[in-house]
Amino acid sequence: MNLVVHGGEARSCAIEAIAAARAGDFARADKLMSASSDALMAAHGYQSRQISAEMSPEGGRAVSLLMVHGQDHLMNAITTHDLAVQIIGLCRQLSGNGILTPQVDGGMRAGEAGMS
């Protein structure tokens, strides 16, 4: 269950971080990405312990459905986290160049300098 919980937390924090970056709140985006990283590390620690336990001679070789479900959550969280890093970087770059400016609703709009 820890993989599901920590994986879900990591993914949620990364998605919230993207929204914060789109709104121009990069300090909040950074804080949320740090929380996402922490949750990923916690999930990875649990994953390593669980794999070791399942592979030990006394642990048998059966893989539980919950472990498979947790792995799915973790993989999605890792992918979302990695993409969030890139999206936030892009928001920073576009914001710094005046191409995109934050809107109240959390979205971004084209600025004077570029995109229409």
Contact of 13 with 36, CB cutoff 8 Å: yes
Which one of the listed residues 6, 44, 69, 81 is annotated catalytic?
A: 69
Whether 6 is a known active-site residue: answer: no
CA Rg, the chain, in Å?
A: 18
**Tokens representing 98?**
């005046």
Helix or strand or coil: residue 4? helix
Transcribe 32-100 into DSSP letters: HHHHHHHHHHHHHHHHHHHHHHHHSTTT-S---HHHHHHHHHHHHHHHHHHHHHHHHHHHHHHHHTTSE
Which sequence positions are flagged as catalytic? Answer: 69
